[in-house]
């Protein structure tokens, strides 16, 4: 089966993994709704460049997904723009690093709102359309931190474990509706989210960014290589393919051996 003409919404797709996923879907002829923050002119340039490169429709809606009503508006506008929705990739996410006793409550609330509640709200808004079409793919970008923990990331680890749980519930509910629901659990992917952590580590330790990049990998990943956003995109394309029809409710690691330990 070809994905040509399918309609996708990828949250947080102005950067990093979400952009890699959006590009991979476009390369298969999928029409994509982008979302995320950034300079409006830069986003418009990105959108136009994707239309030119892949010869598919690419739309963009600027929604802050920490707001429940904005998640609903985004899903509704993807459905209205494309006349339906076949693929939902819940990807937008942020990180904050601090010991629990100092962890700011606002950061906890923001991470739970974006990394967890927006995933629930996105699925909730998209499921009726996918069920009525009899075909759908929901892919939640969780993390290795959806399966194992690290210190100082309490909100992120809690949210990502919960995303894996919510993915399983949705998979069970939709098992016979033609809609699969899976979670991708990447290890380290070199994106702005991780670059900021590396820069902070270098600043605190008085070391270089290169040194801290290697240290970051060495601490967690047996394979001392970053996963690319394009690889995560290819995994999303596979999960949308016929070969993955009976794959559902699965946390799928792409983590250089991080969680094999």
- Under the binding rule (CB under 6 A), the answer on residue 15 touching ligand NAD is yes
Give CA separation, 173 vs 9, 131, 169, 177, 180, in Å.
Answer: 21, 11, 6, 8, 10
CB of residue 116 to ligand NAD, shortest distance in Å? 10
d(C-alpha 183, C-alpha 148), whole Å: 14
- Identified binder of ligand NAD from the candidate list 117, 143, 167, 182, rule CB under 6 A: 143
- Under the binding rule (CB under 6 A), the answer on residue 188 touching ligand NAD is yes
Which residues inside 30-49 make contact with ligand NAD, applying CB under 6 A? Answer: 35-38
Which one from 54, 60, 120, 156 is the annotated catalytic residue?
156
CB-based contact 22:34 (threshold 8 Å): yes
- Under the binding rule (CB under 6 A), the answer on residue 215 touching ligand NAD is no
* Residue placing its CB nearer to ligand NAD in the complex, 12 or 136: 12
- Under the binding rule (CB under 6 A), the answer on residue 125 touching ligand NAD is no
The question of whether 211 is a catalytic residue gets the answer no
**What does the block give as tokens for 182?**
């899976």
* Residue placing its CB nearer to ligand NAD in the complex, 94 or 175: 94
Match 């409710």 to its residue by tokens: 249
* Residue placing its CB nearer to ligand NAD in the complex, 4 or 45: 45
Give CA separation, 148 vs 21, 35, 187, in Å.
Answer: 24, 29, 11
CB-based contact 210:195 (threshold 8 Å): no
Strand partners for 185: 253
**What does the block give as tokens for 152?**
């100082």
- Under the binding rule (CB under 6 A), the answer on residue 175 touching ligand NAD is no
Judged by CB under 6 A, the stretch of 42-50, 58-66, 125-133, 198-206 that binds ligand NAD is 58-66
CA angle 74, 75, 81 (to 5 degrees): 85
- Under the binding rule (CB under 6 A), the answer on residue 93 touching ligand NAD is yes
Contact residues: ligand NAD, CB under 6 A: 12-18, 35-38, 64-66, 91-94, 114-115, 141, 143, 186, 188-189, 191-194
């Amino acid at each position: 089966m070809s994905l040509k003409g399918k309609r996708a919404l990828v949250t947080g797709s102005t950067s990093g993994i979400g952009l890699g996923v959006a590009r991979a879907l476009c390369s298969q002829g999928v029409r994509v709704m982008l979302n995320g923050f950034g300079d409006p002119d830069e986003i418009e340039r990105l959108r136009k460049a994707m239309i030119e490169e892949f010869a598919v429709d690419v739309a963009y809606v600027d929604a802050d997904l920490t707001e429940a009503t904005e998640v609903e508006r985004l899903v509704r506008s993807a459905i209205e723009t494309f006349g339906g929705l076949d693929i939902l990739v819940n990807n937008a996410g942020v990180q904050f690093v601090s010991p629990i006793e100092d962890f700011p409550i606002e950061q906890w609330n923001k991470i739970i709102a974006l990394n967890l509640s927006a995933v629930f709200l996105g699925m909730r808004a998209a499921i009726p359309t996918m069920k009525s079409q009899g075909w759908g793919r929901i892919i939640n970008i969780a993390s290795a931190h959806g399966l194992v923990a690290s210190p100082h990331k309490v909100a992120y680890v809690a949210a990502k474990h919960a995303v894996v749980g919510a993915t399983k519930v949705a998979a069970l509910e939709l098992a016979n509706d033609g809609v699969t629901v899976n979670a991708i659990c990447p290890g380290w992917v070199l994106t702005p989210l991780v670059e900021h952590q590396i820069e902070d580590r270098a600043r605190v330790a008085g070391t270089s960014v290169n040194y801290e990049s290697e240290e970051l990998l060495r601490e967690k990943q047996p394979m001392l290589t970053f996963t690319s956003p394009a690889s995560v995109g290819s995994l999303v394309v596979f999960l949308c393919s016929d070969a993955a029809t009976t794959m559902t409710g699965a946390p799928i690691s792409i983590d250089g051996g991080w969680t094999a330990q």
